[in-house]
Amino acid sequence: MNGATLERLISLNRRFYTDHGHDFSETRRRLQPGVLRLLDRFHGDESILDLGCGNGELARTLARRGHRGRYLGLDFSLPLLSEARRQEFSSPVQFVRADLAELSMSNDALPVAGGWAVVTAFAVLHHMPGFDLRVALIRNVYDLLQKGGLFIHSNWQFLSSPRLKARVQPWEGSGVASDEVDSNDYLLDWKLGRRGLRYIHYFDEEELADMAHAARFEVIETFYSDGENKRLSVYQVWRKPI
């Protein structure tokens, strides 16, 4: 994928989460079952860097569970960050505007040092276009983790749902041609409020394994959860070797 196509796809999603941020937030008032399953394993004192924190629902849920560790949520969408910042927290919680596409290119773009116990990216990686850009982001995540730290992420398996599969749109009219994108790249529509379009990549386990290997992570767990079929998202836990 060439640089011009990458930038058009990144701009497409930036526009979506800016223009539709408030409507999107209304659909994300609770965490998915797969996320809750993972939170049950936390001890409460982990430092957590949450990439693509959205409206802050993960931080609110952690607070209700008595989490005491440091939390930093990053997102580029001001509408979503404004929702996240509405609540006050007793534990050390902070939300910062940051663009993960820029973080993919250099962790100097991240306004925080490393040494995190956990980095999360729930429903985030599938918005990053191009294998190389995704691996670049993951390598920066690797550098931000402490030894033995965990990278926990989920990716949308929308093709497993006939209802969501029907929302796949042709590339024409998006400013991107179908022969410019990679295999398993899709354009999905949004119909709540004004119509919108999002770029999403569909991952299989083989591609996720290739990315983990390229970034030197160990894949220690994979499971499927969410949705009526309980397979709407694939979750993985990767570990930075000690």
pTM: 0.93
Q: What's the pLDDT tens digit per position in 216-237?
A: 999 999 999 999 999 999 999 9
8 Å CB contact between 124 and 216? no
What is the structure's pLDDT at 1? 83
In this predicted structure, which of 3-7, 107-111, 128-132, 167-171 has the lowest mean pLDDT?
107-111
Strands 168-169 and 145-156 come out as unpaired
8 Å CB contact between 99 and 132? no
* Token pair in block for residue 180: 């410019």
Q: How is the beta sheet containing 145-156 ordered, strand by strand?
A: 93-97, 71-75, 48-51, 116-122, 145-156, 233-239, 218-225
* Token pair in block for residue 165: 């599969």
Name the residue with tokens 């918005």: 127
DSSP 202: P
What is the structure's pLDDT at 193? 60
Q: What's the pLDDT tens digit per position in 138-186?
A: 999 999 999 999 999 999 999 999 999 999 999 987 889 999 999 999 9
Name the residue with tokens 């767990």: 221
Confidence label for 112 from pLDDT (cuts 50, 70 and 90): low
C-alpha span between 234 and 48 (Å, rounded)? 20
8 Å CB contact between 87 and 64? no
pLDDT beyond 60 at 206: yes
pLDDT beyond 70 at 104: no
pLDDT beyond 60 at 109: no
- Domains parsed from the chain with CATH numbers: 3-160+202-239 (3.40.50.150)
% of the chain surpassing 90 pLDDT:
74
Name every residue whose Cβ is closer than 8 Å to that of residue 232 and which is 6 or more positions away in sequence: 156, 157, 158, 160, 161, 164, 224, 225, 226
